[in-house]
Amino acid sequence: MQTLELVRRKYNPLSHYVTITIVFIAFAFSIEWQTIVLVALVIATIFSPKRKIIYRGFMKFVLPLLLIGFVINGIFFPGRIVFSIGPLHFRDQGLLFAAGVGVRLSLIVISISYYFSRVKSEVISEYLASRGADRRLIYIFLLSVAMVHLMRDKLQKIYMAQSARGLDTTRSVFTRARYLLPMLVPLSYSYLSESLDRGIALRAANFSDRNSAGSSAVVPLMEIEADKSGLILGRIILAAAVVIWIAGLIL
Amino acid sequence: MADSISWFEKEVNATTIPLIAFGAALNIVVGQAVQLIKLPLYLDSIGTILIACVVGPLAGMLTGTFANLTLGFFFNYAFIFFIPVTLVIGAFSGFVARAGVFKRWYTAIPAGILQGGLAAVVSAPIAAFMFGGVTMGGTDFLVLYFRAIGKSIVQSVFFQGLAADPVDKAVSYLIVYFLLSRIPRSILLRLPGYANT
């Protein structure tokens, strides 16, 4: 009896192999190689329809980090003074260190956000499960994402109720710290008991084995159509990066 | 056969999977609660410590990992790099819970301080290597101070961690102690690892 209508999705594994390769380059390769890859990545994002999301994330999380990193490391590292702004002297070793950190971080963040802007988390989860990943771990991830939204709403309601009872955020740190427990206890209590009930339901659905064939819980939610040429090309790119790295170590 | 059940199967099964997800979500939501009432602390490991305590160390490690993955994917990528720190927090709090430190508040606080020291040791090289010592947290000025008095970048991040983490973790341990003492026993006794704590 068919009770679930499968959703068919296409997935090209090339994008995740490229992301893994870039993260590998960010850790294993020299700054010159990293800079070349970063330039290529930035050019690729310019043509991406999701570039606004990628750039917004970069501006919000990475750019302030990079700017402060340049100031702190530029000033406090030893070395030759490159330039000065008033009493602040920026030294070469610090600026080089900050540049290395900046390029590495930019590579990782841009590649990961580029990847997630292209693929939905449910599709990745189903794809990983179809490739043999532990379904329980995928379920934990999806459930925790869903619970964050539910718990945030509940917390907001508890906060409003506590505010009506006199919670005042302008008082001393110790007084404010005392407000934390009346917010956390009802939140934890309700979601702990709900999680225990959910556990009973999962046990009833035989969700205990890694990939139990008889389990109703392992019926796929969607059918993933993976692109074989993308898979092969992705593996070749990753293997090429590893080979270049090993060759660089030997030569 | 009960003997053949691995440690992983014992702590990651149908009963504990929703608890691990709850703990991961709690880590994130407590961060929001702290912002709402404007406390100068992170308290972003309460879910990890709670689950390590009521399920076990491996479940605690998984809770921290998934919390950081979720935070990394949806809020700030920096959290993904600190997964090794959450592994240490989950493992340590799971093992000290077995020793009974959460039975009394005055044993929970020193365990939290020790936990903070361990977290500082693990997070220092990550913060130094990945972020150049800057994490955009309120404690960055401490890194600046230690750099100004001539410490290396790893030393500065380590000392900053030593100054901030023990207080944060001691308060987290205390909150978990209070949570355990205020949640009804009928609920606590249903938790698979609670009897061992």
**Shared-domain flag, residues A31 and A153:** no
The answer to whether the Cβ–Cβ distance between B17 and A177 falls below 8 Å is no
Q: Which residues of A touch B130 (CB under 8 A)?
A: 101, 104-105
A110, B181 contact by CB (below 8 A): no
Q: What is the pLDDT of residue B72?
A: 79
Q: Model ipTM?
A: 0.85
Q: What is the pLDDT of residue B110?
A: 96
* CA-based R_g, chain A, Å: 25
Q: How far is A5 from chain B (nearest CA, A)?
A: 25
Query: What percent of chain B shows pLDDT beyond 70?
Result: 95
**Shared-domain flag, residues A96 and A21:** yes
Other beta carbons within 10 Å of B23: 36
The residues of chain A scoring below 70 in pLDDT are 1-8, 208-223, 251
B187: nearest CB among A62, A147, A189: A189
Nearest chain A residue to B15, by CA? A199
Q: Is the predicted pLDDT of residue B1 greater than 50, yes or no?
A: no
**Burial degree of B191 (CB within 10 A; 0-12, 13-18, 19+):** buried
Q: What is the pLDDT of residue A2?
A: 46
Q: What is the pLDDT of residue A45?
A: 87
> For the residues of A57-80, what is the DSSP string, one character each?
HIIIIIHHHHHHHHHHHHHHS-S-
**Shared-domain flag, residues A73 and A23:** yes
Q: Examine residue A102 and state whether it is found in any structural domain, yes or no.
A: yes
Nearest chain B residue to A97, by CA? B132
Q: Examine residue A49 and state whether it is found in any structural domain, yes or no.
A: yes
**Shared-domain flag, residues A166 and A239:** no
Q: Chain B contact for A166, CB < 8 A? A: no
For the packed helices A31-46 and A92-118, what is the interaxial angle rounded to 10 degrees? 40
Q: Which residues of A touch B131 (CB under 8 A)?
A: 65, 69, 101, 105
- Check which CATH number belongs to the domain holding B39 and give it: 1.10.1760.20
**Shared-domain flag, residues A32 and A60:** yes
What's the CA gap between A170 and A1, in Å, rounded?
61
B69: nearest CB among A141, A167, A202: A141
> pLDDT (tens digit, 9 = 90+) per residue, B89-114?
999 999 999 999 999 999 999 999 99
> pLDDT (tens digit, 9 = 90+) per residue, B135-178?
666 677 778 778 778 888 888 888 888 888 999 999 999 999 99
**Shared-domain flag, residues A152 and A248:** no
**Shared-domain flag, residues A89 and A20:** yes
Q: What is the pLDDT of residue A73?
A: 82
A126, A224 contact by CB (below 8 A): yes
Using CA atoms, how far residue B17 sits from A88, A99, A167, A202, B69, in Å, is 53, 42, 34, 9, 16
**Shared-domain flag, residues A237 and A188:** no
Q: What is the pLDDT of residue B136?
A: 64
Q: Which residues of A touch B191 (CB under 8 A)?
A: 192, 196
Query: What percent of chain B shows pLDDT beyond 90?
Result: 48
Nearest chain A residue to B177, by CA? A181
B183: nearest CB among A179, A192, A202: A192
Mean pLDDT (whole number) for B64-91: 88
**Shared-domain flag, residues A104 and A71:** yes
User: Domain tally for chain A?
Assistant: 2
**Shared-domain flag, residues A41 and A141:** no
What is the span of the domain harbouring residue A100?
8-119+223-251
The answer to whether the Cβ–Cβ distance between A148 and B29 falls below 8 Å is yes
Q: What is the pLDDT of residue B119?
A: 93
Q: Examine residue A127 and state whether it is found in any structural domain, yes or no.
A: no
Q: Examine residue A68 and state whether it is found in any structural domain, yes or no.
A: yes
**Shared-domain flag, residues A159 and A202:** yes
Q: What is the pLDDT of residue A214?
A: 43
The residue of B73, B126, B134, B190 whose CB has the most chain A CBs within 10 angstroms, and thus the best one to mutate to test that interface, is B134
B76, B95 contact by CB (below 8 A): no
Q: Which residues of A touch B190 (CB under 8 A)?
A: 196
Q: Examine residue A96 and state whether it is found in any structural domain, yes or no.
A: yes
What is the span of the domain harbouring residue B29?
2-196
**Shared-domain flag, residues A210 and A232:** no
> For the residues of A21-53, what is the DSSP string, one character each?
HHHHHHHHS-HHHHHHHHHHHHHHHHT-TTHHH
User: Domain tally for chain B?
Assistant: 1
Other beta carbons within 10 Å of A176: 19
3-class DSSP assignment, residue B149: coil
Higher confidence at residue B75 or residue A230?
A: A230
Q: Is the predicted pLDDT of residue B3 greater than 70, yes or no?
A: no
